[in-house]
Structure 1
Amino acid sequence: MKITFPHIGNTYIVAKAFLDDFGSEYTIPPFNTNKTLELGSKYTAESHCLPFKLFVGNLLQAHELGADTMLITGGCGPCKLGYFGEMLKKTVSEIGIEMEIITLEVPEQGLKELAARIKKVSGTSNYLNVAKVVNSAKNVAIQLDSLERLSRIKRARQLEPRSVDKIYGSFQREVLEVKGSKEILKFIRQTERKLKKLPQNEKARPLKVGIVGEIYTTIEPYANFQLERLLGNMGVEVTRQVTVSGWIIDDMLKKALRLPLEGEDVREARAYLSGMVGGHAHHTIGNTVVHAKDGFDGVIHLYPLGCMPEIVSQSILPAVEENYQIPVMTVIRDEMTGEAGFNTRVEAFVDLIRKRREEQLNGQNKMLYGY
């Protein structure tokens, strides 16, 4: 068995730690590019969402490297991610290649079925060892998200242009050569120390923008044209509450153990959305409210074309925008979205919220619409 997995931001590092600790054989597909999307689009319907097309592209590129098994996580509610496992099985059958799909989630059959799937991946039936490895992978995810937050803070205040990108980009490439969760955690801490040593503008008061929306589009840099990097290098501090570690802890571990899942964002969303519509719709609405209460200058809402939960969110966000007087820009991403046009919209939005802050400082507290 040679395992692979799709790219979703830094999840390749978490998956690598997980499989390294089990001693499993695996291959990491090439990072997402236009080639990945073109390959995935070739074997999917036009109506399929961008994440699924990229999943298929990752699968095919990994298959060329010898992979015969793909690990994915599941989804919840009407969100299409919950059906990706079955959709991928159907796709590989239609293409005519051998690729087993293993979904790591708590299925209807319960924890025993999940344990059986992990056993298949790990090759061990020692539940204590499995729990230890899962916990280590969770810790890697937590520290990775902490490193990402630090990079976003430092990027908005850096004195030397793109100094954060150099350190963070090197980390993402060099971590491929690091083996096991212990060594990966050590490498994360080393990178963190490098970022903390970077000189920064202590007098900077950067604009603050929250990124909300569908998890794949907000986390995967290719899907959002490196939005966090773009904003940070414009002197904007970015916050993104939907994270890889949050997905692992809330949507996998807590769900498996039947622990309470509700957070501040879900509570804030109740005033606008009482029922569950799947995906991260509650988080999108709730985090927009939280960001507004925390004094953020604006919010960027991202989702792939056809994402039903986020279509619901988009219809609700104008009410949040009006009630809390916070500008919200929505971007819908598919394979036809141009990077130049995307960047132009982001730059215009930053100009808008910068002007809005200046007017507020001058005593003109009014809303600027248009996005």
Structure 2
Amino acid sequence: MPHPVTNSNSKMTMLANPPIFPTHLPAGYECFADETTYDPDQHLALEWPEQILTLAEFGYDKSAIDACASPVAVTSPFRMLSEEGVRVTHQVVSRLKAQRSEIAGDRVPSHLAGGVYRSKFLRDLCACPEILDHLSKIGGTPLAPHSMPSQQLYVNYAPQDLSQAVDAWHFDGIGFDYVLMMSDPGQLKGGAFEYFQGTKFEIAETFNLAVHEVRYGITSELPQDRVIRTRFPAAGYAIFQQGNMVVHRAAKLLAPGDRITMVPGFVSRNLSCPDPTAVHDMPCYGEPGIVAELARHSAWLAQTKLQHLLHSLPLSDDSGQLAANLKNTIADVISVIRELEKAQASAQADKP
């Protein structure tokens, strides 16, 4: 059994407080009124993964690893939920299935976003301190539920068209997540969770793509000698990954089956490394309130960085150094402003 990961790159000079959940739901979401209350004593059965693979083992060089909040790539499956936890959680995600998005030809053709807006049980599960502490030890960095609530929980369902992968090859637009199997894998034919043991840069070069374009989905097969197929022992088991650094997919089902996975997303509270959130794409995602979430996300980042600058700025710096420090501190905000202005201009141009 591997020991907790030590992150030698983590200086912990900018440790953010966990982001605050919004006080109001965005228009378009409705939360269940009659749910079981989440109880970690009843619903969890946390275990440690037998294997923790690092970014170095995937072929990433030092500069790429130093830009990440954690040296971890992906783990082997480990148990998260008790039998009662599986029963209740499966009941909730099955109930949510009626609200899923189904888009033929999409990278993930049958899914639901914003699960924490729709279910208090799932919101409490995703924000559970016991889970956060467990995953933070596995990843070697302090984690919090993602600062954009729509990204705190995706649920992936089996597509009706079996010629499509459940989710095509891609890497994630957020830093950390776990993939939690909610179905009995013994009853499924195909639909395996797979990852490429290599870098996203290799995949981009192989398919002549810009690196960010890999996120949009690749339907071609990857070199089989580099593809690792994960076998979940049962429902309630998960893998943890630094998803923006691991190219992965949920393969095609070979026969109809009730395949459901939950994918809760997280941010590292250590803001010393660049933010991996794909803010350039997210205004196009379409989830209710996502542009406001982006604004909140950038404000959350800037709040800690400005506090750090306030306490650490040398009074001997000249004007050029001060200007550079201020620009770096608010770079996340400026980037999001730029994307929001683009989205607004595009929306105006589309009006008749």
Instruction: Pick the structure with more strand per residue.
Output: 2
TM-score between the two structures when normalised by the length of structure 2? 0.27
TM-score between the two structures when normalised by the length of structure 1? 0.26
Instruction: Pick the structure with more helix per residue.
Output: 1
Which structure has the higher relative contact order (CA within 8 Å, separation 6+)?
A: 2
